[in-house]
Amino acid sequence: MSSGVTFVPGFRASGVSCGLKKNGNPDFALVVSDVPAACAGVYTRNVVKGHSLQLCAKHSALGTAQAVAINSGCANACLGQRGADDALKMAQMVAQKVGCPVSQVLTGSTGVIGEPLDMDKIADGVQKAYAALSTQGGEAAAHAIMTTDTLCKQVSAQCTLGGKTVHMGAMAKGSGMIHPNMATMISVITTDANISAETLKVLIKDVADSSYNHICVDGDTSVCDTVVILANALADNEELLPGQEDYQAFVQMLKEQCLKLARMLAGDGEGATKLMEIHVNGAASKQDAKLIAQAISKSPLVKTDLFGEDANWGRILTAAGYSGGCFDPEKVDLYINSIQVCGQGCALAYDEAAVKQTLKKNAVTYRLELNQGTASDFMLGCDLTLDYVKINSDYRT
Amino acid sequence: MSSGVTFVPGFRASGVSCGLKKNGNPDFALVVSDVPAACAGVYTRNVVKGHSLQLCAKHSALGTAQAVAINSGCANACLGQRGADDALKMAQMVAQKVGCPVSQVLTGSTGVIGEPLDMDKIADGVQKAYAALSTQGGEAAAHAIMTTDTLCKQVSAQCTLGGKTVHMGAMAKGSGMIHPNMATMISVITTDANISAETLKVLIKDVADSSYNHICVDGDTSVCDTVVILANALADNEELLPGQEDYQAFVQMLKEQCLKLARMLAGDGEGATKLMEIHVNGAASKQDAKLIAQAISKSPLVKTDLFGEDANWGRILTAAGYSGGCFDPEKVDLYINSIQVCGQGCALAYDEAAVKQTLKKNAVTYRLELNQGTASDFMLGCDLTLDYVKINSDYRT
């Protein structure tokens, strides 16, 4: 059984080493659809944008794609015309191999900023990756897009729509520089559903908002964040359109898979030992809940405290307090997993040993009940650890 | 020669141990003016506010103070009515000793949130601190307000205004949970200038904005941040009023001293090995420059990179790019100390060894020239280190 992007009929993929990564790990991934596919993407909102991403955004806006080529080990960013030229060359090489127009090739690059792509290595990567394309290649592709990820991240699912089986597969990478206000990291989603590029365009933004945009690893937003979806229509279902029951089922499947990937991404944050979920309920507005959840998820003090498996919950209230979200501090209840530690803004005499115990889990949920209204939001984050600092203080060396 | 707050004639101070800190270090500071002094304060903008701070804000708003009492080891925050009662009791004990109205006692508490003040220990602290008051006690007081600070922080200066010598002294504490959008940390400023509480009220906000509010250690904003100034008028100068030349000279002295303390605070950020200065010039607006400088100063990726003495400057551009400040990425020049690493948004072929060398310094300046306009701003920060994580993952234990 094939996994990830090649779980879907009509897609082949591969992941190879072309020498961009000094350690020799796979660093070039290729995903190809047997037929031209409808496509859409969401991209970083950073003012600074990688060159490969800029080309990808331009091509995906046309609505049809047949290949996605992604290298790791180099971001191809902040290089002026040279960076733009290199991204285009990469797309041209892939187009020539696949036999499709260059505008149907989507490109991605992830790694260090400011260093130019070694185009000889890229040429080698395209050559090898094309030769290695396989209906079993999803996992290899997912490996080749990893940077500081410790786990390969892919999901797949299927459902029956109008009597036809519709498949979906996806891979994602990214563990540092992950924060909302962007699509987040690099993710490629494949499906054999019959759905138009116009419909996908609206849908993918909605899906990213409800999954990837709830992740915060370090509050930084990369210049290369990309989510693209390709739909090759080989399932032969009736075209999915908003309003249909089938469309809803498809959307739900897509959101669930992306949320699964989002949890994997947060839990595999650089150096992370724990997934941290923050749920803010009872807010007067969605915006209040969002600001509060985001501030807590970004707070280095909250994150280091979780690493220490310590219940210094004042830091959580402190972060809520400076978030810009409105609430009455004297109405807040705070729970660590199922244990309430603070009631109406005041310390409770909770069982310290029980809290210590619950903080040892791999996933910890902080839940704030603001008791102001009915709006809620959540964030997925992780702890801030010694390894995070180690990884990021000698990333280039 | 007496230093810090007791550099100023008419002020006595002390710092003693009363057992609030488990390690027995000094944890109670008292500063007393021989005569009632004009006073003003700026306080945290956090929605959650410590109880001692709330009382301090209430009392300082009245414009006259004779004593400042600060304990470390316990924040007296998130404790409901009990916290408010305890802050008032602390002020009452001090008032009784000093012989002034309770409304002339300013209070501060810093440390862990959610644990109640041990009032027996506070009573002991007041007793001992009053007995120890001395015109040489500035340094002892500065020691007693420290939490995770590694250095005692105080400054002093004097100038001649209208033929009279005017003195100024100050102490500050705070190394984690420091970020603008607040007064920042705890700082007590004394002066013998003749200046009214009304004038001080406007001035202290301006001074905090131009010094303490440029510090970012971890982006968190404490619930206990406080800056208070006491002016006892013993210099016998003509009353300082905005518009006068003497007033300008006084303001300049005050700002310089507070900026000195701000640099000490940033350089002594929790676990910090380096002071990081960020200067953003040539912005279209002050707000753009501010957003960009703040985003860089907060970025864990920039901060860990500095710790590693690495020139992964793409992280600096990335942070600028998601800051919300407007700029054209293709016009940006970036300097690390005096070495330009990026020109018009593109990587330059700089001398890697020279950059490595300059990054070894105790203070590193990142300077962005946006080439968009004439506005500028700056931030004072520090690197994010293994020690930061160690300190904050077992702060309570």
In the chain, the amino acid numbered A331 is K
Query: In chain B, what residues touch A314 (CB-CB under 8 Å)?
Result: 75, 77-78, 112-114, 223
* Residue in A closest to B182 by C-alpha: A322
SS3 content of chain A, % helix, strand, coil (to 5): 35, 25, 35
| Closest-CA distance of chain B to residue A200, Å | 26
Instruction: Say which of B220, B299, B389 has its CB closest to residue A319.
Output: B220
Give yes or no: residues A300 and A389 share one domain. yes
* DSSP, residue by residue, A200-245: HHHHHHHHHHHTGGGB-SSS---TT-EEEEEE--TT-PPPB-TTSH
Question: Using 50, 70 and 90 to split pLDDT, how confident is the model at B397?
Answer: very low
Name the one residue in this structure whose structure tokens are 């959650």.
B48
Query: In chain B, what residues touch A110 (CB-CB under 8 Å)?
Result: none
d(CA B33, CA B64): 11
The CATH code of the domain that includes B14 is 3.60.70.12
Instruction: Label the pairing between strands A375-382 and A275-283.
Output: antiparallel
- Residue-level pLDDT at A180: 42
| A198 C-beta neighbours (distance < 10 Å), count | 12
The overall average pLDDT reported for chain B is 92
| Catalytic residue ranges of A | 184
| A119 C-beta neighbours (distance < 10 Å), count | 14
| Closest-CA distance of chain A to residue B299, Å | 6
Give yes or no: residues B279 and B257 share one domain. no
Q: Which residues pair with A41 in a beta bridge?
A: A228
d(CA B101, CA B66): 9
CB contact under 8 A, A78 and B298: no
Question: Using 50, 70 and 90 to split pLDDT, how confident is the model at B180?
Answer: very low
The residue-averaged pLDDT of B96-117 equals 94
Q: Residue B249 CA to chain centroid, in angstroms?
A: 22
Q: Would you tell me which residues 375-394 of chain A have a C-beta closer than 8 angstroms to some C-beta of chain B? A: 384-386, 388-390, 392-394
Instruction: Say which of B176, B221, B319 has its CB closest to residue A220.
Output: B319
- Residue-level pLDDT at A256: 96
Decide if A273 touches B, using CB distance below 8 A: no
d(CA A79, CA A85): 10
Give yes or no: residues A259 and A279 share one domain. no
Q: Residue B143 CA to chain centroid, in angstroms?
A: 15
pTM: 0.84
SS3 content of chain B, % helix, strand, coil (to 5): 35, 25, 35
| Position B62 in a domain | yes
Q: Which residues pair with A372 in a beta bridge?
A: none
Q: Would you tell me which residues 147-186 of chain B have a C-beta closer than 8 angstroms to some C-beta of chain A? A: 176-177, 179, 181-182
Decide if B48 touches A, using CB distance below 8 A: yes
With CA atoms as reference, report the closest residue to B144 among B222, B50, B70, B68: B70
CB contact under 8 A, A301 and B397: no
Q: At B123, which helix (H) or strand (E)?
A: helix B119-132
Tokens standing for residue B18:
């009363």
- Residue-level pLDDT at B182: 33
CB contact under 8 A, B48 and A385: no
Give yes or no: residues B59 and B99 share one domain. yes
d(CA A273, CA B226): 35
In the chain, the amino acid numbered A73 is G
CB contact under 8 A, B177 and A318: yes
Q: Among A267, A302, A328, which residue terminates a domain?
A: A267
Query: Using the 8-state DSSP alphabet, how is residue A300 labeled?
Result: H
In the chain, the amino acid numbered B132 is A
ipTM over 0.85: no
Q: Which residues pair with B159 in a beta bridge?
A: B166
Decide if B370 touches A, using CB distance below 8 A: no
d(CA B30, CA B94): 9
| Catalytic residue ranges of B | 184
Cα maximum dimension of chain A = 69
Instruction: Say which of B179, B310, B314 has its CB closest to residue A113.
Output: B314
Give yes or no: residues A178 and A116 share one domain. yes
d(CA B72, CA B122): 11
d(CA B107, CA B339): 47
Cα(first)–Cα(last) distance of chain B, in Å? Answer: 39
Name the one residue in this structure whose structure tokens are 């033929």.
B163
Domain count, chain A: 2
Name the one residue in this structure whose structure tokens are 């089986």.
A165
* Residue in A closest to B397 by C-alpha: A310
- Report the range of poorest mean pLDDT among B55-64, B98-107, B172-181, B365-374: B172-181
Q: Is 90 exceeded by the pLDDT of residue B49?
A: no
| Position B70 in a domain | yes
CB contact under 8 A, B345 and A394: no
Q: At A344, which helix (H) or strand (E)?
A: none
SS3 (DSSP) at B173 = strand
Q: How many residues appear in chain B?
A: 397
Name the one residue in this structure whose structure tokens are 């049809």.
A64
Tokens standing for residue B169:
């002294």
Q: Is 90 exceeded by the pLDDT of residue B213?
A: no
CB contact under 8 A, A329 and B395: no
Query: In chain A, what residues touch B112 (CB-CB under 8 Å)?
Result: 312, 314
On whether the CB atoms of residues A230 and A33 are closer than 8 A, the answer is yes
> What does the CA dihedral A194, A195, A196, A201 come to, rounded to 10 degrees?
-150
* Residue in B closest to A176 by C-alpha: B301
- Residue-level pLDDT at B181: 37
Decide if A352 touches B, using CB distance below 8 A: no
Give yes or no: residues A179 and A319 share one domain. no
Tokens standing for residue B349:
């072929």
Q: Is B352 left (phi over 0), alpha (psi -120 to 50) or beta?
A: alpha
Query: In chain B, what residues touch A284 (CB-CB under 8 Å)?
Result: none
d(CA A109, CA A104): 17
* Residue in B closest to A394 by C-alpha: B308
Cα dist from A210 to A8, A288, A381, B179, whole Å = 23, 17, 15, 30
* Residue in B closest to A329 by C-alpha: B48
With CA atoms as reference, report the closest residue to B76 among A98, A346, A96, A191: A346
CB contact under 8 A, B392 and A298: no
With CA atoms as reference, report the closest residue to A168 among A243, A267, A234, A100: A234
| Position B270 in a domain | no
* Residue in B closest to A387 by C-alpha: B386
The per-residue pLDDT for range B255-313, each reduced to its tens digit, is: 999 999 999 998 888 888 999 999 999 999 999 999 999 999 999 889 999 999 988 89
Phi and psi torsions of A374, nearest 5°: -120, 0
* DSSP, residue by residue, B31-78: EEEEEEEEEEEEE---SS--HHHHHHHHHHTTSEEEEEEEEES----S
Q: Which residues of chain A have pLDDT under 50?
A: 180-184, 397
Phi and psi torsions of B385, nearest 5°: -120, 170
Query: In chain A, what residues touch B384 (CB-CB under 8 Å)?
Result: 300, 389
Q: Residue B265 CA to chain centroid, in angstroms?
A: 6
d(CA B165, CA B40): 22
With CA atoms as reference, report the closest residue to A145 among A102, A191, A106, A182: A106
Tokens standing for residue A394:
């000698």
Give yes or no: residues A233 and A285 share one domain. no
Tokens standing for residue B364:
């590193």
- Residue-level pLDDT at A184: 46
Q: Which domain holds residue A162?
A: 4-267
Cα dist from A104 to A76, A95, A107, A172, whole Å = 20, 8, 10, 21
Query: In chain B, what residues touch A75 (CB-CB under 8 Å)?
Result: 314
| Closest-CA distance of chain B to residue A395, Å | 8
Query: In chain B, what residues touch A182 (CB-CB under 8 Å)?
Result: 322
Give yes or no: residues B256 and B291 share one domain. no
Q: What is the CA radius of gyration of chain B?
A: 22
Give yes or no: residues A215 and A347 share one domain. no
Q: Is 90 exceeded by the pLDDT of residue B179?
A: no
Query: In chain A, what residues touch B181 (CB-CB under 8 Å)?
Result: 322
* Residue in B closest to A304 by C-alpha: B393
Give yes or no: residues A243 and A304 share one domain. no
Q: At B148, which helix (H) or strand (E)?
A: none
d(CA B178, CA B171): 16
Q: Among A267, A301, A331, which residue terminates a domain?
A: A267
Decide if A92 touches B, using CB distance below 8 A: no
Instruction: Label the pairing between strands A333-336 and A339-343.
Output: antiparallel
The CATH code of the domain that includes A319 is 3.10.20.340
Give yes or no: residues B135 and B157 share one domain. yes
Phi and psi torsions of B390, nearest 5°: -60, -45
| Position B58 in a domain | yes
Q: At B245, which helix (H) or strand (E)?
A: helix B245-267
Q: How many CA atoms lie within 13 A of A125 on its CB side?
A: 34
Query: Cβ neighbours of residue A17 under 8 Å, at least 6 residues apart?
Result: A24, A25, A26, A27, A28, A128, A144
Tokens standing for residue B39:
């006073």
| Position B295 in a domain | yes
The strand ranges marked E within chain B are 11-16, 28-43, 64-72, 105-110, 153-161, 164-173, 186-191, 226-231, 275-283, 333-336, 339-343, 346-347, 363-369, 375-382
Q: Would you tell me which residues 223-242 of chain A have a C-beta closer than 8 angstroms to some C-beta of chain B? A: 223
Give yes or no: residues B281 and B197 share one domain. no
Instruction: Say which of B307, B314, B320 has its CB closest to residue A112.
Output: B314
Q: Among B265, B285, B311, which residue terminates a domain?
A: B265
Angle at B376 between CA B373 and CA B377, to 5 degrees: 155
> What does the CA dihedral A21, A24, A25, A26 come to, rounded to 10 degrees?
80
On whether the CB atoms of residues A148 and A176 are closer than 8 A, the answer is yes
| A156 C-beta neighbours (distance < 10 Å), count | 20
| Closest-CA distance of chain A to residue B128, Å | 30
